[in-house]
Homo-oligomer: A and B are copies of this chain.
C-alpha cells in the first residue's frame, strides 16, 4: 500500500525499501529511492543542526495528493514517502521516497516527481542552527519581499 506521512522518529531506509518491494519483493523489479540528509553547511555557514516543523494536517494532505498524482503518472507503482520533523543532527535522513514499479523509467519518474513536489508544495519549514551561534529560517530571506502568488 502506497502511503505518505510525517514522522518524528529516525527513518529506517531498509524498512522502507522492503515496504515498497512487498512481502516477497518479487513483483516489481525496479525500485528508485531518494534520500535527503542534513548537510553540514548552507553556503559558507557551518550547520550544527536544524529543526523541521510542519503544518501537520495540511502537510499530510499535500503529501498524499502528491502521491496520488505520482500514481497517475506511474500506474501500478508502489510508493512510500516519509518526511521527518523535529530536531535533526547533521547527517540525519530528513526525507525518503521509494517507488517500486515493473519498469525502471516509471520508478524513477514517480520518485523524482514526489520529491520535487514535496519541495515545492508541502508546508514544512526548516530552522537551521549555525556553528557561529546564529539560527535562521531557510528561505526566510524572502519574508521581506513579495511572496509569489502560488495559487
Contact = CB atoms under 8 A, between A and B. Distances in A.
Interface of A: 13-14, 17, 21, 24-40, 90-92, 102, 104, 107-108, 111-112, 115
Question: What does DSSP make chain A's interface, helix, strand, loop or mixed?
Answer: mixed
A105 to B, nearest CB: 9
A32 B29 contact: no
A115 B107 CA distance: 13
A17 B29 contact: no
A34 B39 contact: no
Given A13-B14, A34-B108, A39-B102, A91 B29 contact: no
Contacts of A35: 17, 30-33
A104 B17 CA distance: 19
A13 B33 CA distance: 11
Given A13-B13, A14-B13, A91 B24 contact: yes
B34 A90 contact: no
Contact of A26 (B13, B36, B37): B37
Contact of A34 (B14, B28, B30, B38): B30
Contacts of A27: 39-40
Contacts of A39: 26-29, 102
B90 A36 contact: no
